[in-house]
Structure 1
Amino acid sequence: MADNWVETTAGDLRSWADERGEKLDEQGAHLLLDLAGREMGLAGPGELTPEALRELLLEVFPETVVAGADEVPSVLDAMRAVAAFLGESGAVPAARAAELAAEIDRLAPEFAEVVAETDGAERQVAAEVVAGLMEGDGVALDDQDAVEEWMRRFEALPDEERYARAEEYLRRTEELVVPPVRLAASAELADAARRSGLAAEVRALAEWTGERPLTEIDELTAADAEAAVAALDLATPRRLPDADVADQTDLPELDRLWWAATEAEVILAKGGRAEPGPGLHDLGSDDDERVLGVWVRLLDSVAVPEHDPSDGLDAIELVQNELTGVLIHLYEQEEPAGLDELADALLGHVTEAYEISDRAALAEAVLDALALELDDLARWGVVEQAGEGGRVLTPLGVWGVRELLLADGFAAPVVGELAGGSAAELVAGLAWHRPETADEEIDGWLAVHDVKDAAADLLDVMRGGGPGARNLAAAVLHRVGPEAAPVVRAAQEHPLVSPYAALWLNAAGDPAGRELSRAEYLWVFVDTVAGMLETAEPDEAVAAALVDAPPGTEMREMVDELWRTDHPGVADVLEALGDHHPDKATAKAARTAAYKARSGGGA
């Protein structure tokens, strides 16, 4: 139905403009009409009121359309043409048309501001995406010629392909984010690295090796390998029982240390001869940066001992191929992880990546192999015991795993790094924080920002951001002191901010505070759940939303009203409630309301 009136009105508008010889942005006018019908659910042009116009220009358009600040005059002119046509054609009364024209003029400065804010955010995101795509294609961003050539080729691609590449980049970028961690001081980390078992074992191997001949593939001879194991008193639980040592690889623990030492240049192995490398000196130096640089290269080697799956991997090799996943699991966990938990997670990934004939036998073998790896990591100073049978990363392990993640393109934030950023950067960063570290970040940010400036910046984020950003900014705003009251009072006129400003002022005991109207209360509920849906699965978002929601019959009555809420995300919120609300009657009511919201009122 909406498509019919939109197309009919757009065609009549075009004819109307042609008859008068007036210039018309046909595409812009059609877009505005389409947004009014499709996004706002207006059943016809007669439902366009000054209030609906305000929603269209200040909420729906910025959230739906990517437009530049330079396009604002054209958009407003198209809207003026629509209003004039509706009045002259009788689609709305002449008095209404005059009200629409006056409202357009009143909204013009605010519309320009909202579009400029959105445009700036969009441009920043676009620039980050383009830079990421370039780097993914191996283009150095400081090579101007290469950048320009890449841009020429990228812009020549069909729109669909460019959009697909950008969406894939954003998806991968979101997946490559790990929770924020706290890092120990560099001096403490370097001291731990010097004292670690990994440094000790590699240093001992290098000092024992000294200068000696190697095999033609730059490994220790079989005799030297056995002698090294004896001299270093190195345990070799992975060695095959009663097997002769034909070469260094028959002693897996020594082989792993050897290649770690050579990768980090603690030992130089080249041309069939070994000698001490510069890394040996750096590993024991007083220079913290040098020590940590060598240590993380050692960790990279021992934690990622790659084995070729085509060779037929045993349980030990399977576990070693997946060891980085174990380290990431430990990095992301809030609580110590037990051996069984880690083995289950690893086995789940192994069974997805490889064809497994006997899962039960593999599970037992994986458990044993993982126990060996965790023992090594503990000895090397990467992992330590916590609680009853639990494992956590040591502070050095946290730092080292983070360095490996950064090298692999992950975003790995650190607690405290948002304090000096803008409100927009704070809100964007908080999306990845757990509650306890989020509180720490907010306290740190507020401590270094003037109260009124902080409130003004947060309100700007709320005006220009989506529901998720608005909710986070509002949560931070509630931690701002009462000195910000004048700034919050002044923001009450903005439709996206007004309910949150009222809540803040009411909580602060300010005379301008007030209780929300029923419509505002419902809008805030929808906005809150819509924000949760941006980063959480629908079932998780609904569960979180219901913590503070009214119970039973009151909730069902609220759901019955929600479809009328003036919020672009209301249908999505109702669908999530319909799919995941635990009460069947409420879920059914939500599904019915979602249909009404989608159809602009239902039958």
Structure 2
Amino acid sequence: MSADRPTLPPVRLTSEAELARDALSAPLMARAAKLARWAERGVPVGVGGEILEESLAAATELLGLAGDEDGPAYTAEAWQLAVDTGLVEIEETEETEETAATAATAAEDDGAEGPGDAAVGIATPGEELNLLTSGSPQDVLDIWLCGMETVLADAAAPDLADIAEQIAEGGELDLDSIDWNPEEEAELLNGILGNLYLLTAVAEGADQDVPLPALAASMIVPDDMDEPTDDILEEVSEAMMRLDDQFRVLEPIGLVAYRPLDEALIEELDEAGETVRSAEPLTDEDVSRYGLVRLTPLGVYAVRARLLDAGADAPAVGDLTDKGAEVLLDALPDYPEALAQSESELWLAARTPLDAARDLLAAARGDDEHAPHRRLAAQQTLSLVSPDAEDALREVLDDRQLGGLARVWLAERALPGIPEPSQEMIFWLTVDTLAAQLGSVDEGAEAELRDLVQGLTDQHSGFFDSAWRVDHPATAEVLEAMGRLHPDKKAAKEARKAAFKARSRRSD
């Protein structure tokens, strides 16, 4: 894999059928579909498919939003989604674009508000509407993805109230004056969605509500900054305000689940009139007031689709089911434990136990630097295989690289006739296992590994006198690591001496 193709942690996706149901039940999508069916008799529209004022009132009534002061805006948004996704199609009337422009100008001169009254076309249900009910789940998801992209673009757009105010004052549209940069807004929103995706992956698919300040800080505060400056904290506060607006736009399409920022907090200002509370450390009681957000299962699906389109390697559990054992074993060491097990179970379910075991054992062989990781992954995957694979494990009992793990597998199932391993095989398996574990030690696992190292030397007197002779490519590196990890200074010194001997032996 090329270095410029980033690899992300795997995610667990729900089935396409479930995702399609989620897409159809998303409030904005459901409204758009209802309006598209309502358009069966034809709905006059303005330029760009814009719903006209009289029709807007009827549509708002249809959606049950007439009693909501924002009802017409919600209805217009749903109608536009229906237009953008092809749920309705527009047939232009004989009126030319020039006539439509003249009518629009006249409406402005008359002080008309809202959608213009000049019809330039008729909207009727589009072909895509049939796919929502008779198409496949993937058809539904394709339509939803199209609508989601439209909503994302709307979320990154400037505040229309600011634009209206600027135009009403007779000025020209100046993006700088309304503090909006389209590239920066799109980059911020894409980065935020990417961070939410990563958090979902790390949480192994569990719901992961993220406080809005933490999410904003993840994009603003530099990784190497121990204590954010006042300027950085103010940037975080400003980003929070923008994200609050954006998530309110994204929730109705089903991309995120969002508990909005408590509007009372926005009013808690310092003497200079700048928001400061949002940048302060949060207590458990207050955290939800600052906004909580997470990707929905539909959102995980959507962000992954966008990442794949951008050229990222964004695996999902089940991707490896039809791949060879060597691909599976290369990938599993980078998977979180629960997802690695799920991936292995799906892979094994597609094969007989005997064939799966033979393929795994063959792929586990090798003297390259990644071979210990493959063997550890093979051992973990084989632990899920039924006793029907017994013959495959017995076939490798005399194999220097695989005989040890084969004996472990047979012993765990209390199967008879397991030959005693030689001391050489025991030490080789020990070095191989440590080599695999040392390659991915995080801060939490280091204590466990330190206990393992100490336990090995306590159980085997003269361990280092024998270990340096082990004919394994990683012997010297493992002994050096044991010297760093062992809590006893004398044993650590013996480990370093053994590492020197192993390296000298290898160079001879």
Q: Give the TM-score of the pair, scaled to structure 2.
A: 0.63
Aligned counterpart in structure 2 of residue 526 of structure 1, from 431, 447, 467: 431
Aligned counterpart in structure 2 of residue 364 of structure 1, from 216, 237, 242: 237
CA–CA separation in structure 2 for the residues paired with 1:490 and 1:517: 17
- Compared with structure 1, are the counterparts of its residues 316 and 338 closer, same or farther at alpha carbon in structure 2 (3 Å cutoff)? farther
Contact 2:257 2:296 in 1 (8 A): yes
Q: Which has the higher helix share?
A: 1
Alignment-derived partner of residue 348 in structure 1? 218
Deviations 1:330-373 (A, max 9, x none): 53133433342x542442333459x9971111222333433343
Contact 1:180 1:433 in 2 (8 A): no
Alignment-derived partner of residue 5 in structure 1? none
Contact 2:59 2:75 in 1 (8 A): yes
Shift of 1:524: 1.9
CA–CA separation in structure 1 for the residues paired with 2:75 and 2:191: 20
Equivalent residues in 2 for 1:430-445 (5 A)? 430-445=332-347
Q: Is the aligned partner of 1:566 residue 2:414?
A: no
Alignment-derived partner of residue 554 in structure 1? 458
What is the number of residues matched between the two proteins? 410
Aligned counterpart in structure 2 of residue 331 of structure 1, from 192, 200, 204: 200
Contact 1:282 1:290 in 2 (8 A): no
Contact 1:337 1:392 in 2 (8 A): yes
Alignment-derived partner of residue 109 in structure 1? none
Q: Is the aligned partner of 1:466 residue 2:297?
A: no
Shift of 1:456: 2.0
Contact 1:384 1:392 in 2 (8 A): yes
Q: Give the TM-score of the pair, scaled to structure 1.
A: 0.54
Instruction: Look up the equivalent residue of 1:436 and give its one-letter code.
Output: A
- Compared with structure 1, are the counterparts of its residues 563 and 587 closer, same or farther at alpha carbon in structure 2 (3 Å cutoff)? same
Contact 2:84 2:150 in 1 (8 A): yes
Aligned counterpart in structure 2 of residue 296 of structure 1, from 122, 132, 145: 145
CA–CA separation in structure 2 for the residues paired with 1:482 and 1:406: 39
Contact 2:11 2:200 in 1 (8 A): no
Q: Is the aligned partner of 1:287 residue 2:135?
A: yes
Q: Is the aligned partner of 1:181 residue 2:12?
A: yes
Which moved further from structure 2: 458-467 or 385-394?
385-394
Q: Is the aligned partner of 1:457 residue 2:359?
A: yes
Alignment-derived partner of residue 398 in structure 1? 300
Instruction: Look up the equivalent residue of 1:182 and give its one-letter code.
Output: L
Q: Is the aligned partner of 1:197 residue 2:27?
A: yes
Shift of 1:196: 0.8
Shift of 1:562: 3.8
CA–CA separation in structure 2 for the residues paired with 1:436 and 1:483: 24
SS class of match (1:468): helix
Alignment-derived partner of residue 164 in structure 1? none
Deviations 1:405-442 (A, max 9, x none): 33233444443454555433443453454323333343
Equivalent residues in 2 for 1:272-283 (5 A)? 276=123, 278=126, 281=129
CA–CA separation in structure 2 for the residues paired with 1:460 and 1:380: 48
Alignment-derived partner of residue 272 in structure 2? none
Higher RCO, 1 vs 2 (CA within 8 Å, ≥6 residues apart):
2
Contact 2:329 2:378 in 1 (8 A): yes
- Compared with structure 1, are the counterparts of its residues 595 and 267 closer, same or farther at alpha carbon in structure 2 (3 Å cutoff)? farther
Instruction: Look up the equivalent residue of 2:214 and give its one-letter code.
Output: D
Deviations 1:185-213 (A, max 9, x none): 42x33232222123146568888995544
Q: Is the aligned partner of 1:502 residue 2:407?
A: yes
- Compared with structure 1, are the counterparts of its residues 490 and 285 closer, same or farther at alpha carbon in structure 2 (3 Å cutoff)? closer
SS class of match (1:572): helix
Instruction: Look up the equivalent residue of 1:297 and give its one-letter code.
Output: C
CA–CA separation in structure 2 for the residues paired with 1:580 and 1:274: 76
CA–CA separation in structure 2 for the residues paired with 1:540 and 1:597: 29
SS class of match (1:358): helix
Gaps of 5+ in 1: 1-128, 130-168, 237-250
Deviations 1:527-560 (A, max 9, x none): 12332455x3565774564465444962896467
Contact 1:266 1:278 in 2 (8 A): yes
Contact 2:376 2:436 in 1 (8 A): yes
Alignment-derived partner of residue 189 in structure 2? 320
Contact 1:382 1:394 in 2 (8 A): yes
Equivalent residues in 2 for 1:20-59 (5 A)? none
Contact 1:418 1:425 in 2 (8 A): yes
Shift of 1:320: 2.9
CA–CA separation in structure 2 for the residues paired with 1:235 and 1:588: 76
SS class of match (2:134): coil
CA–CA separation in structure 2 for the residues paired with 1:376 and 1:551: 56
Deviations 1:160-208 (A, max 9, x none): xxxxxxxxx1x344x323313132342x332322221231465688889
- Compared with structure 1, are the counterparts of its residues 193 and 439 closer, same or farther at alpha carbon in structure 2 (3 Å cutoff)? same
CA–CA separation in structure 1 for the residues paired with 2:192 and 2:4: 21
- Once the two structures are aligned, what percentage of the paired residues are identical? 27
SS class of match (2:365): helix
Instruction: Look up the equivalent residue of 2:11 and give its one-letter code.
Output: P
